Structure 1
Amino acid sequence: MPNIKSAIKRVKTSQKANAANSSAKSAMRTAVKKAEQAIANKSENAQELVVLASKALDKAASKGIIHKNTAARKKSRLAKKLAKAN
């Protein structure tokens, strides 16, 4: 642990941010996985899950958790899989 007051505060805030970011990233990954599974199983709600996954990807990109191009690429691949399944 640092001795300087501002450095102590930075450690605390970065730990908070790290926890929030990892939680959001995990939620995003879960949404994408659920959508991919629904597409693979040809589920009726696959379209809805792809929309939710896209929303989660956009949110993660806007918060800086993932790069915007990564989000776009993942969304594109999900849409492609959905179109191929239908």
Structure 2
Amino acid sequence: MKKQQTKWIWNQVYDQGTFLRVGWIHNKTEGVILDKIRVQINSLHCNLDFNMRLDEAAGLIAGVGKVICKQILANRISVN
């Protein structure tokens, strides 16, 4: 098994100890970027760390975007 390393490309800190970050997974020796991303979600109630393929991540992004749009149209989220 090849050694893999994560290069974090996005980090969002919400509160003390609560953050969300996303990174590319690549081979440590050759630096070849794989077609996977790594997602870490840490909060008071849950700590998740998982890998996703890029096509799975695109589906997740589309679903989250649709939910946010519906919430904005229903005036449940205010946009300033």
With the length of structure 1 as denominator, give the TM-score of the two structures.
0.28
Structure with greater helix percent: 1
Higher relative contact order (CA 8 A, sep 6+): 1
Structure number with larger C-alpha Rg: 1
With the length of structure 2 as denominator, give the TM-score of the two structures.
0.30
Structure with greater strand percent: 2
